[in-house]
Chains A and B, each alone.
Chain A
Amino acid sequence: MVNARILVVDDDPALAEMIGIVLRAEDYDVAFCADGSKALDAFHVERPDLILLDVMLPGLDGVEVCSRIRGESGVPIIMLTAKTDTIDVVAGLEAGADDYMAKPFNTKELVARIRTRLRPVIRPSSDLVRIGDLELDVIGHEVRRGAERINLTPLEFELLLALALKPEQVFTREMLLEQVWGYQYKADTRLVNVHVQRLRAKIEEDPDNPTLVTTVRGVGYRAGS
């Protein structure tokens, strides 16, 4: 099996090198980019399986880089941020980042986050799952409405799949954090909120009146109504 390739976009050379040391020890291939404006080129050249993206970058800031990459690919993106204030985190998530890590993080967290994003946790028994008028092709990681194909990132696919597999169950945000993001303890429910919004924008006929992924007030979310 070919090692997964990770692109580290960070302008701090010491941190980038250190992350490289940690990741290589875990048998990942690592590529670096220190400039936001060159991140997109690096992405094209390296074709990484996952991107670690610092928010504060020279040239082009991380949030902008994130939304540009998201414009052409669903590759997992984990933001690295020194600020955990809502605005910074939500801006990154809304730009399409799958997850974020607040500095300072440790090696265990780093590796665990990367692993979850590269190897999804949910293993359904059937290859085809239905939710409303949507069809989820588990093997091909594809979502179709009739003949129309809907582009979801791997994370969005995981989120939808988790809900669709148990349509009778109401998922709390904490449950989703555990199943989709692989979090055991830490519970930043903003991750769920933002990604449900993004998901609805793609799959719902009317995102303001969702019918496929509905909110259960005070509890969480469920598939259908």
Chain B
Amino acid sequence: MPRWLDPRAWWRRIRRGWRSSLALRMISMTLLLSTIAAVGVGIAIDLSVRQSLLDARRTQLVTLSQNATISGQRYFEVSAGQADPDLEAVLNEGLRAVANAAATTSGGTTYALLPAPGQNVPGDFANVVSPSLQFVLDEVVSESIRAAVASDEDGRIYSQSTGIPRTDGALAPAIVTGSTVEIRGVRYELYLVYDISDTQQTLSTIQLALAGAGLVLIVLIGIVAFLVVRLVVGPVEVAAATSRRLAAGDLDVRLPVRGDDVLATLARSFNGMAESLRGQITRLAELSSVQQRFVSDVSHELRTPLTTIRLAGDVLRDRTDRFDPETARTVELLHTQILRFEGLLADLLEMSRFDAGAVEMEYDRVNVARLAEDTVAGMTMLAEQRGSELVVIAEGGHFEAEIDARRIRRVLTNLIGNAIDHGEGRPIEVWVDSDQYAAAIAVRDFGVGIAPGDLDRVFARFWRADPSRQRTTGGSGLGLAISLEDAALHGGWLEAWSAPGQGSCFRLTVPRRRGIRLTESPLPLPPESPVGSDGSDALSRSGERG
């Protein structure tokens, strides 16, 4: 089955349209309700018209029957006085006169003359009935009207709606009237049956007109609803689109304000909201930029006195041999703390640059494996002082990548420094791998690891794994935060993995070309040491490679 024929697809499409389009819902609801109203009113009008038409017709026919009965009675009285024994001829003659007097409708009038129950009927009397009524008399003249006529005392005319069976089986609407006449002292019941198909015709015409009018009305209502909805929903849709743009950060968008109606009020409130939003954001941005400037200025202002202190420290340190041991040690402490202070200040400044968005990338095509090896070579001394062996594991691949070498080197230096600090003197692996799209460097240590709850906090500024830990690289507490920013500037990732007792692993992944969106890293995290393998296993493997 082709897709466009699939009923489920259609159902989905309709549901989606229904849910997404306010206009469709409003127009549909309007049409539905107005259809219900129109049908209701139509039925009410039809019923009341039918009632009044039939009532009028019945009143008219009853009057007619009355006259016919009176003239028939007279005829019978006159003819009864004559000594003509042929009763049947008399009756038929009289009834034809009656029927003629009562003949008003196109459908024609038929009659029936029946003896009233309990009357002594002359022996040769038979029921006198119009030929067309001959076989359907009991259907047309019901028991109830016969009973009413039979019990009549004061010569009233009784009437009832009925139907005459046609040859095609349908019933032609009719009214039957019943009265009593006396012929030669015997009571007879006289029934006159009027076919009122013409009245029905009139009714049908009216119904048709009503239905037509109703249909036109509904179509008109539909059009009106469409226009009204356009008038109301149009601005609402504009407002929705404008809100979206505002939410997307376009703070200058405004709604057009027309007139003084509720939509104009909406537009004005919206614009007021947008204005206050922009004010707030501008204020916050200013505040933030003031703060960033402050940090930047402070860092810069500190640099000049720090230079003086640094130079003074250097001069003192060059003359340590002239000092007594305690003073010499003091100078040494002073010196290391100046270095630490310098590092902190540099990191702080770097951070304020990130915050201000004032960083410039210097992209270059660099062999990532060689960069890793160079960085590791520069840190081997430090690692050996702490008893850790540094191992570079670079398996084949596309190692050239378009990166800012200074930043990647800084990230790597920081990661290795952390690994040395927390590596417990065990070997440290630096994995490098790459694929077509990305290059990755992972630094793996086998130290105590990071507590699971702390893993997502390691990148926070000034967060420290354990304040009591001994540190050699003199980190500022901003190292990982800066590394994370550096990775992000490349459109890359910096991720951490750790298992208590098994050490931790930090993996840097950067795209090999600017603009590539990372989807996966060439290295698993941790590399070749799946979660759950114990530390000794990982250790021995690194030993083989080393």
Residues of A within 8 A of B (CB): 12, 14-15, 18-19, 21-22, 25, 82-83, 85-86, 103-108, 110, 218
Q: Are B311 and A110 in contact (CB under 8 A)?
A: yes
* Closest-CB distance, B130 to chain A (whole angstroms): 119
Q: Tell me which residues across on chain A come within 8 A of B303, comparing CB atoms.
A: 82, 103-104
Q: Are A106 and B310 in contact (CB under 8 A)?
A: yes
Q: Tell me which residues across on chain B come within 8 A of A107, comparing CB atoms.
A: 311, 314-315, 318
Q: Are A218 and B365 in contact (CB under 8 A)?
A: yes
Q: Tell me which residues across on chain A come within 8 A of B305, comparing CB atoms.
A: 12, 14-15
Interface positions, chain B 311-342, Cβ under 8 Å from A, are: 311-312, 314-315, 318, 342
Q: Are A15 and B315 in contact (CB under 8 A)?
A: no
Q: Tell me which residues across on chain B come within 8 A of A12, comparing CB atoms.
A: 304-305, 308
Q: Are B308 and A22 in contact (CB under 8 A)?
A: no
* Closest-CB distance, B317 to chain A (whole angstroms): 9
> Once the chains are docked, how many angstroms separate the CA of A85 from the CA of B307?
18
Task: Name the prevailing secondary structure of the A interface residues.
Answer: helix
With A18-B311, A22-B315, A110-B311: A104-B306 Cβ-Cβ less than 8 Å: yes
Question: Which 5 residue pairs across A and B have the least CB separation, nearest first?
Answer: A107-B314, A103-B303, A104-B307, A82-B303, A103-B307
Interface positions, chain B 280-321, Cβ under 8 Å from A, are: 300-301, 303-312, 314-315, 318
Taking the complex as formed, is B89 at the interface, i.e. its CB lies under 8 A from any CB of chain A? no
Q: 4 new A-B pairs (CB below 8 Å) besides A15-B308, A106-B310, A218-B365?
A: A12-B308, A15-B305, A83-B300, A106-B314
How many residue pairs at the A-B interface have CB separations less than 8 Å? 54
**Range for the number of chain B residues in contact with chain A:** 20 to 34
Q: Which residue of B lies closest to A110 (CB)?
A: B311
Q: Which residue of B lies closest to A187 (CB)?
A: B406
Q: Are A18 and B308 in contact (CB under 8 A)?
A: yes
Pick the residue among B300, B309, B311, B342 that contacts A22 (CB under 8 A). B311
Q: Tell me which residues across on chain A come within 8 A of B308, comparing CB atoms.
A: 12, 14-15, 18
Q: Tell me which residues across on chain B come within 8 A of A19, comparing CB atoms.
A: 311
* Closest-CB distance, A196 to chain B (whole angstroms): 17
Q: Which residue of B lies closest to A83 (CB)?
A: B300
* Closest-CB distance, B190 to chain A (whole angstroms): 123
> Once the chains are docked, how many angstroms separate the CA of A22 from the CA of B319?
12
Pick the residue among B315, B318, B342 that contacts A104 (CB under 8 A). B342
Q: Which residue of A lies closest to B339 (CB)?
A: A106
Q: Are B315 and A85 in contact (CB under 8 A)?
A: no
> Once the chains are docked, how many angstroms separate the CA of A22 from the CA of B312?
8
Taking the complex as formed, is B83 at the interface, i.e. its CB lies under 8 A from any CB of chain A? no
Q: Tell me which residues across on chain B come within 8 A of A104, comparing CB atoms.
A: 303, 306-307, 309-310, 342, 345
Q: Which residue of A lies closest to B360 (CB)?
A: A86
Taking the complex as formed, is B5 at the interface, i.e. its CB lies under 8 A from any CB of chain A? no
